[in-house]
Amino acid sequence: MRKILVTNALPYANGPIHMGHLLGYIQADIWVRAMRAMGHMVTYVCADDAHGTAIMLRAEANGITPEQLIAQVQQEHERDFSQFAIEFDHYDSTHSQTNQDRAAEIYIKNRDAGHIAVRPVSQLFDPEKGMFLSDRFIKGSCPKCKADDQYGDSCEVCGTTYNATELLKPRSTLSGATPVEKSSDHYFFKLPDFKEYLQKWTRDEGRLPTSIANKLDEWFEAGLTDWDISRDAPYFGFEIPEAPNKYFYVWVDAPIGYMSSFENYIKSKRPDLNFDDYWKKDSQNEVYHFIGKDIVYFHALFWPAMLEGANYRTPSALFVNGFLTVNGQKMSKSRGTFIKAETYAQHLNPEYLRYYFASKLSDKVEDSDLNLDDFVQKVNSDLVGKVVNIASRCAKFINKDFANTLAAEVAEPELIQSFIDAGEAIIRAYEQREFSTAIRDIMALADRANQYIDEKKPWALAKQEGQSAQVHAVCSVGINLFRQLAIYLAPVLPKLAAQVQDFLKLERFDFASRQQILAKHEIATFQPLMQRVDKKAVDAMVDASKDSLTQATTTENSSHKKQKNTQNPAKTPAATTEQIQIDDFLKVDLRVAEVIAANHVEGSDKLLQLTLNAGEAEPRNVLSGIRSQYAAEDLVGKLVVLVANLAPRKMRFGTSNGMVLAAGNGEGIFIISPDQGAQPGDKVS
């Protein structure tokens, strides 16, 4: 029996759980259930990531304390997870005394080992709010092209990057005050100390997906840099030991929440477990983190380095999932496809989504698409039309004509044994996180079971005199085959499995229990197990998502416009634009490009690093100042327009080889995308 600790990426305590989040949590929950069904001891913990400036400011805006805000959000998160049968053994918060103590310990061990540096950093300071401002909270005029309303790290108009202290006419977006330059000591984790260790760690077999390890090589080639782990007061988080008014940056104590959540689980519920058995340096137990690909950098570099520096074990492996699109596109508020977990659960059975995601997931770092039409068809065809249909066709005869008892002699033993034997490959697929393969194999068995029943036609036999024993035999085989399918689907559909277990009156429903063939076995009266998905319910879910979000946006925009008109009722004159000739325009080579990867730029609150397929031999790297409007995960797969012949620009954060076209109106940034049918490399004219 293996002893395993599983964690999920910690959801940020500043907003609701949505479909994109659920992909990773459902993947982890299925794996946990499957490993337990194999007989392994698995502990599954998670927590809310509860610190940071964003939470502090949202609480202030809502007129409540940060503690009140994170308590409210945690309650909502736990409700959403419960609705989707994501069952953590313990769900915690990073804002706990245990996490503070563990974070202090890890910091002090690294400090005493020489892995912490302190040096002054000059930043802009809001004298009214009494706080240092990150780049996203500063706006002003670009020092190069003089464009107004630019953030504190780069210009949307001309693409220049700069320090926030170089902005002209800077202002705080929090108070409107003119910030002043001020220096303070910052604390840095010396990541370069661990370069050789991390290069080996990331290449250890089975530790990371190969594609992720290859991506991390880019960071090693560029050179690892010290990591700023401190923030100045006021900040909602943990104060750094022996450093008054200095707080741990949220990404320091967030992953330590994996350890503290497990520790609090031991304290509150499982004193028989031992913390060191899982986290000491030479532990033979296994630790796995399920995360999204957007946070690999923190989990594959900073986190193992911090653990190594503090003499703790590192994760056995990182299991990385891709992003989620809906109907082939990024989740959209205007289209109603930015669907909250709560909204989905109000309209549809959450197990439908668990099944659909399972049918898509593999051990590869691939994006998944929730195609709503395919979702309806797959659930209705597979679960209702194939699996549940077997029980409903056979149970009615067992209930009505045979006193709820299966036949004493098992017909078709070879057929039933073949279903039992098929479990080996299905179980192996679960263990390897090849859920789509497992589902495909299970549905192939379901097809065979239905084919058997269709060939035997118990409903026709029941009308023939003297065929009662044959009806009994056929339907008993059908129930046995159905039982095998339900056991195999149990990690994906735990609520359905519990219903089937009650219906079949079975004490066990793990994988090993499938070896027992049911003969002369009493079952309960069959009750409907699943209903077909009604397309109207899907449409209602989309409408509910669209209506609530669109209404909020409309109200906000109306209020904003009214305020602007009150301050300045005169219309803004159109900008005067210098005319160019057609020959000037033809010098610009505009190409369609596909975003094949998007990542946050460390140290910048505004830039995203885009890897583009522009139909050329090699992908292009472009730094784009669109982070305020777009999440990195939403851009992957999107078609954009690239200025392909723009001279490479060396920026503070790297070299940008081109420019992605976007429109801006002072209230947002909007990427310009070609219409459907365009392909990477197509010339835009």
Q: Is residue 357 a contact partner of residue 439, using CB atoms and an 8 Å limit?
A: no
Q: Establish whether 158 is an annotated binding residue.
A: yes
Residues 299 and 254 in one domain: yes
Q: How many domains does the chain have?
A: 4
Q: Is residue 545 a contact partner of residue 331, using CB atoms and an 8 Å limit?
A: no
Radius of gyration of the chain from Cα atoms?
A: 29
Name, in order, each residue with C-beta under 8 angstroms of 379's C-beta and a sequence gap of 6 or more.
Answer: 352, 355, 356, 532, 533
Q: Across-strand partners of 317?
A: 288
Residue 470 lies in a domain: yes
| Dihedral sign for Cα atoms in the order 662, 663, 666, 667 | negative
**Whole-number pLDDT of residue 563:** 30
**Whole-number pLDDT of residue 556:** 29
Token pair for 80:
């959403």
CA distance 484 to 422: 10
Quickly count helices (H) and strands (E) in the chain: 22, 25
Residue with tokens 């735990």: 494
At residue 552, the 3 state secondary structure works out as helix
**CATH number reported for the structural domain that contains residue 636 in this entry:** 2.40.50.140
Burial (CB < 10 A; 0-12, 13-18, 19+), residue 119, is exposed
Helix (H), strand (E) at residue 138: strand 138-141
Helix (H), strand (E) at residue 396: helix 389-401
Please name the residue ranges forming H helices in 616-655. 632-635
**Whole-number pLDDT of residue 546:** 80
Q: In this structure, what are the phi and psi dihedrals at residue 475, rounded to the nearest 5 degrees? A: -70, -30
Please name the residue ranges forming H helices in 269-340. 276-279, 296-297, 303-309
Q: What is the 3-state secondary structure (H, E, C) of 367-436?
A: CEEECHHHHHHHHHHHHHHHHHHHHHHHHHHHHHHCCCECCCCCCCHHHHHHHHHHHHHHHHHHHCCCHH
Residue type at 515 in one-letter notation: Q
CA distance 639 to 642: 9
| Axis crossing angle, helix 350-358 with helix 19-37, rounded to the nearest 10 | 80
Q: Is residue 341 a contact partner of residue 19, using CB atoms and an 8 Å limit?
A: yes
CA distance 351 to 460: 34
Q: Across-strand partners of 45?
A: 7, 90
CA distance 148 to 168: 9
Q: Establish whether 475 is an annotated binding residue.
A: no
Report cis status (omega within 30 of 0) of the bond before 234: yes
At residue 259, the 3 state secondary structure works out as helix
Token pair for 347:
């309209």
Residue 537 lies in a domain: no
Other C-beta atoms lying within 10 Å of the C-beta of residue 90: 19
Q: In this structure, what are the phi and psi dihedrals at residue 95, rounded to the nearest 5 degrees? A: -90, 70
Token pair for 453:
């029943």
Angle at 679 between CA 673 and CA 681, to 5 degrees: 95
Angle at 352 between CA 351 and CA 358, to 5 degrees: 85
| Alpha-carbon 268 to chain mean position | 28
**CATH number reported for the structural domain that contains residue 436 in this entry:** 1.10.730.10
Q: Is residue 639 a contact partner of residue 680, using CB atoms and an 8 Å limit?
A: yes
Residue type at 222 in one-letter notation: A
Q: How many Cα atoms are found within 13 Å in the side-chain-facing hemisphere of 60?
A: 12
Residues 100 and 16 in one domain: yes
**CATH number reported for the structural domain that contains residue 171 in this entry:** 2.170.220.10
**Whole-number pLDDT of residue 265:** 98
Residue 211 lies in a domain: no
Q: Is residue 366 a contact partner of residue 320, using CB atoms and an 8 Å limit?
A: no
Q: How many Cα atoms are found within 13 Å in the side-chain-facing hemisphere of 209?
A: 20
For 180, the domain range is 116-189
Residues 174 and 269 in one domain: no
Residues 420 and 480 in one domain: yes
CA distance 398 to 473: 10
CA distance 269 to 618: 54
Residue 552 lies in a domain: no
Q: Is residue 256 a contact partner of residue 304, using CB atoms and an 8 Å limit?
A: no
Residues 107 and 132 in one domain: no
Residues 99 and 122 in one domain: no
Residues 484 and 495 in one domain: yes
Residues 425 and 465 in one domain: yes
Other C-beta atoms lying within 10 Å of the C-beta of residue 566: 8
Burial (CB < 10 A; 0-12, 13-18, 19+), residue 21, is buried
**Whole-number pLDDT of residue 652:** 63
Residues 120 and 103 in one domain: no
Helix (H), strand (E) at residue 116: strand 116-126
Q: Is residue 124 a contact partner of residue 181, using CB atoms and an 8 Å limit?
A: yes
Residue 403 lies in a domain: yes
Residues 592 and 664 in one domain: yes
Q: Across-strand partners of 248?
A: 230
Q: In this structure, what are the phi and psi dihedrals at residue 588, rounded to the nearest 5 degrees? A: -85, 120
Name, in order, each residue with C-beta under 8 angstroms of 30's C-beta and a sequence gap of 6 or more.
Answer: 354, 358, 361, 430, 435, 491, 492
Start-to-end CA distance of the chain, whole Å, equals 63
Residues 103 and 40 in one domain: yes
Q: In this structure, what are the phi and psi dihedrals at residue 647, rounded to the nearest 5 degrees? A: -60, 140
Q: Establish whether 394 is an annotated binding residue.
A: no
Q: Of 164, 189, 214, which residue constitutes the final position of a domain? A: 189
Q: Of 515, 538, 572, which residue constitutes the final position of a domain? A: 515
**CATH number reported for the structural domain that contains residue 307 in this entry:** 3.40.50.620
Q: Establish whether 46 is an annotated binding residue.
A: no
Q: Of 488, 515, 542, which residue constitutes the final position of a domain? A: 515
Name, in order, each residue with C-beta under 8 angstroms of 226's C-beta and a sequence gap of 6 or more.
Answer: 117, 188, 189, 190, 191, 192
Residue 311 lies in a domain: yes
Provide block-wise average pLDDT over 10 residues at a time, the chain (685 residues). Answer: 97 93 97 98 98 91 94 97 98 98 98 97 91 87 91 81 87 91 95 96 92 90 93 95 96 97 97 96 96 92 98 97 91 86 96 98 93 96 96 95 94 96 98 98 97 95 92 97 98 97 97 96 95 95 70 30 29 44 72 83 77 78 81 80 84 78 68 76 74
Burial (CB < 10 A; 0-12, 13-18, 19+), residue 282, is exposed
Query: What does each C-alpha distance from 336 to 265, 329, 348, 372 come to in angstroms?
Result: 38, 12, 15, 12
At residue 629, the 3 state secondary structure works out as coil
Q: In this structure, what are the phi and psi dihedrals at residue 468, rounded to the nearest 5 degrees? A: -60, -45
Residues 99 and 161 in one domain: no
